[in-house]
Amino acid sequence: MALTVADLKGLTVGACVSGGLDSRTIAKVLAEAGVKVVAFSADLGQPDEKDINDITRRMAPCGVETFIVDLKDAMAEACFQVIEAQAMYDGGYWNSTGIARTVTVRGLLPEMKKRKCTVLVHGATGRGNDQMRFERYTNVLAPSMRVYSPWRDAALLQQFPGRTQMVAFLAKHGIQAFVGTKKKYSTDANLAGLSHEAEDLESLETSMLIVRPTMGVWPKDAPDKIEKLSVRFSKGRAVQVNGKDVSPLQAMQTANKLAGRNGIGMKHALENRIIGTKSRGVYEAPGMELLATCLRYVYQATMDRRAGLLFGQLSKLVADQIYDGRYYDPATQAARAAIGVFSKHASGTVEVGLYKGNIFFNALTGCKASIYNEADSSMEASDGLNPVSSQGFAEIQSVEAIALAKAGQI
């Protein structure tokens, strides 16, 4: 049964906050109702936050203590897992928000428990995906922890039908919150990328170009020259960029910078939400797009046709599971384990060129597990496959083909 504000009176709750209008409103409403609110925010390497500690300062007037939990390394590791699985959702969305919720809930729950919180509070809308992700990850990682979703609470929805009412409520308590002009869209950001949606983007007659990129530029604004770089992979993980050893966090930060300035990773998606509705999003994920594309070139060299088919099926399953908030489910972990069978052979150095939103393949070297053989594939005379040997295979194939034709099935 859904919790209400009245149910929380006298309890200690852990509120996941961003420092925005919603976060401050919820924190103040609960505090006024006799609830002890402890606020938490995850540092996921958000590129739209100049100083992550600004969240603490924005929450302070609400009378709550806010803890910033550094999860950048965990977020980078999660990015690597998505890249290894090539786990892209509808329309080319790199699951940046979906995988971030995995990291956020797993990272904040222990901190909430340390401070005796028995309820997790989140500010996700009752019409979107994140409400389900916060709920499910709390359920599977801390079954005894209850969840309160303010924007599914009928009383709060009636009290705060829009931003204007929230601003007025905070002003009544001496907390300034400027509404400003109507936003063109909303943004959620982390190390993996930015999700832009809602407001003007809800209309399919609105161009995606209304979005102002944060992690880079639109391809049309990128430099008019090819930028070359190399990425060294070891067992499906990027370990060097341009010859320099990198940690997962350094790899993501470097890839975001290089790909971003070349207009890489700007995508439009009209995706299928968990709850059954459609959602329109414009996504930035320059580093994810760059590293995943480079790894794909290695996979192409190391997987046979049937391995590639199975990998594609596993990849889609993992992508769907991340999107649905089911990353820790047995099916996801089994798929990831199977993907590991393929990625353990994915070692080599990929050289690419970046140009106005495009990634060009230049070279693959040092890939010992490659099953590509130039001599076998050559159209010219070589010491590879003897073309005469293909005659027998062609004759075997013809038996079935002729039988189908004679049976009238073609």
The catalytic residues are 22, 101, 130, 186
What H or E segment, with its residue span, contains residue 279?
strand 278-284
- 44-81: b or e for each residue (b if 16 or more CB lie within 10 Å)? bbbbebeebeebbebbebbebebbbbebbebbbbbbbb
* Residue appearing with tokens 């995606």: 208
What 3-state class would DSSP assign to 300? helix
Residue 196 pairs with which residues in a beta bridge? 187, 282
Label the pairing between strands 193-197 and 278-284.
antiparallel
Starting at the earlier edge strand, list the strands of the sheet with 348-355. 244-245, 237-241, 227-234, 348-355, 358-365
Query: Does the CA dihedral 193-124-109-145 come out positive or negative?
Result: negative
Label the pairing between strands 266-272 and 12-16.
unpaired
Q: Are 256 and 287 in contact (CB under 8 A)?
A: yes
Q: Are 47 and 188 in contact (CB under 8 A)?
A: no
Taking the C-alpha atoms of residue 28 and residue 22, their distance in angstroms, rounded to an integer, is 10
